[in-house]
Amino acid sequence: MPDMDVLLAGLSDAFSLVNLLFVIAGVIVGQFVGAVPGIGPVMAMAIAIPFTFFMPTLPAIAFLVGVNKGGLFGGAIPAILMNTPGTPDAAATALDGHPLAKQGKPVKATKMALYSSITGDTFSDIVLITISAPLAVLALKMGPVEIFALMIFAFSVIAGLVGDSMVKGVIAAVFGLLCATVGIDPEHGTPRLYFGFFELFDGLPLAAVAIGMLAVSEILRRLASAGSTPRSAITSLDGDDPTVSRVSWAEYWSCRYVMARGAVIGTVLGAIPGIGSTAAAFMSYASAKQASDEPESFGKGNIKGIAAAESANSAVMGANLIPLLVIGIPGSIAAALLISAFKIHGIQPGPLLFEQQGRLIYGLFGAMILANATNLIVGQFSLRLWTRVISAPESVIFSSALLLCIVGVYMSTGGLFGVAVMLVFAVVGYVMNVFGFPVVVFIIAFFLGGSFETYLTQTMVILDGDLTRMIDYPIAVALVVLALISVWWLGFRKKG
């Protein structure tokens, strides 16, 4: 159990005025970027990380969490109003959200998405808060050999679940680990792969790589195809009739089992690295349709379809932080970006985090609950504003985002070299997407590369260079066997 003084101190930090303002700002930014198809919370987080460099640690992390939470709901707005999901996980929401909006009930559809999103997100956060500390205690009993084996297992699962090919997933992971070796060798203190650029002695800058791969590559692709005409969307948000302008308690309560199922599915899948919120949303939607007495009504404006998709994709967010905080392994790109934010502030995620930074962790938990309440309030009053946002020309939005990318990287790296690195990895990300190599796997492997190398070195020292001695570590052996099974099974399932 956490020390009560630490817990109360963390909660008081979370509810301070400064932290509250940054949470509100994060949620507003998240809903804004979620409402713009093609940007999404992940791109916004990547752009925002450099701007958090000079912020206190808790407000910086809370701001990024607010962006992620706001973006999860924001993506449902264009999915419902214009049948164009703002984020990939909102595609399932569009199946019933847009038909309901076309029936003259866009506000009802959007508010149901908001309420179910908050419900699933809150459930996931409660699970995170409840089980993360006990799991961290168990993780502390694992040594370098077991953690090294665990990272191999995580890489195998992520490489197999993300993308269409196990081989391409493994190649992306190896490439990410290779890029992580740039800089000073932690064991011998000699520079590696720096090609005469002393700026690379500290390694490739995290912000430049993340923004280039996740944001700039997508911005350039969208700018190339962007038009100057506004998008076509439903902008007339019904009148004063309460039957179409609000979700009644009876309607919300009728979806309780659907939302509970979606929250559980999203939480379970979110705790498994690599699966993601899109799979959770569609799995929950399919389960709700199968369990319904009127399955034929799904896809025609059934409010339970919206509830199923949104409760599941939002529940993934909190669950993604379970492996991140407990063992330092991110479950998604958003969680990987949070790792970079932690590292910018000199904090290494993992089981020691609860012992060494308990006040920060419980402050983060308080900020997450606060962000849910803020998301609900902002979402209630900002809908008409976001309907204007989704009609803005893409050329204006993405040009502004590109400018923010350049400014952010310049600030975080202290010069144009970081901007050059960003542009190089923007091209790399674009090429990887074209040829089907999963960028998600690369990013996670790159962020974990330093830890992976450290645990590999420690493992080889402990085993005295003899891998057969791993048999003395049954947990590590079991994890390696599971990794081999996942490679075989997932590779066979994808046939290549």
Do the beta carbons of residue 327 and residue 350 sit within 8 Å? yes
**Cβ proximity of 374 and 82 under 8 Å:** no
pLDDT digits (tens, 9 = 90+) for 399-435: 888 888 888 888 877 788 989 999 999 999 989 988 8
Check residue 127 and give its pLDDT. Answer: 93
Quick one: residue 226, left, alpha or beta (phi over 0 = left, psi -120 to 50 = alpha)? beta
| Distance (Å) of CA 112 to CA 60, 108, 118, 298, 314 | 30, 6, 10, 15, 13
For residue 119, name the pLDDT band (cuts at 50, 70, 90). Answer: very high
Under the banding of pLDDT at 50, 70 and 90, the label for residue 367 is very high
Q: How confident is the model at residue 340 (pLDDT cuts 50, 70, 90)?
A: confident
CA distance 26 to 264: 26
Q: Which residues contact 460 (CB under 8 A, 6 or more apart)?
A: none
72, 319 Cβ separation under 8 angstroms: no
Calculate what percentage of the chain has a pLDDT beyond 70: 91
Q: What is the mean pLDDT of residues 54-60?
A: 89
Distance (Å, whole) CA 216 – CA 445: 20
Residue with the larger pLDDT of the pair 411 and 373: 373
CB 100 within 8 A of CB 306: yes
Helix extents (H) in 15-56: 17-35, 40-48
Does residue 317 have a pLDDT over 60? Answer: yes
- For the chain, the domains span 4-495
Per-residue confidence (pLDDT) for residue 92, from 0 to 100 = 85
pLDDT (0 to 100) of residue 239? 52
- Per-residue pLDDT, 200: 86
Q: How far is CA 437 from CA 100, 165, 176, 222, 429, in A?
A: 37, 8, 12, 19, 9
Among 409, 448, 414, 407, which residue's Cα sits nearest to residue 425?
A: 409
Closest CA to 222 of 338, 91, 84: 84
Pairwise CA distance, residues 263 & 319, whole Å: 10
Chain segment 69-91, per-residue pLDDT in tens: 998 888 888 888 877 776 677 88
On whether the CB atoms of residues 79 and 390 are closer than 8 A, the answer is no
pLDDT for position 242: 58
What was the pLDDT predicted at 63? 94
What pLDDT is stored for residue 163 in this prediction? 65
pLDDT at 477: 92
Task: Give residue 228's pLDDT.
Answer: 45
> What is the per-residue pLDDT for 232?
52
Specify the pTM. 0.83
pLDDT at residue 307 is higher than 50:
yes
Q: So what's the pLDDT on residue 21?
A: 94
Q: Using CA atoms, how far apart are residues 61 and 48, in angstroms rounded to an integer?
A: 11
Q: Which one, of 54, 69, 74, lies nearest residue 24 by Cα? A: 69
Over 90: is that where the pLDDT of 50 sits?
Answer: no
Confidence band for 169, pLDDT divided at 50, 70 and 90: confident
Give the tens place of pLDDT for each residue, 129-155. Answer: 998 888 888 888 888 898 889 888 888
Please give the span between the terminal C-alpha atoms of the chain, in angstroms, as a whole number: 46
- Least reliable range by pLDDT among 185-194, 318-327, 335-344, 431-440: 185-194
pLDDT one-digit tens code per residue, 212-251: 888 888 787 777 665 544 455 555 555 545 566 678 888 8
Q: Please report which confidence band the pLDDT of residue 11 belongs to, taking 50, 70 and 90 as the band edges.
A: confident
Q: Which of 174-178, 268-272, 410-414 has the highest mean pLDDT?
A: 174-178
The residue among 266 and 495 whose pLDDT is bigger is 266
Would you state the pLDDT for residue 155? 82
445-496: pLDDT as tens digits: 888 888 888 888 899 999 988 888 888 899 899 989 988 888 788 766 655 4
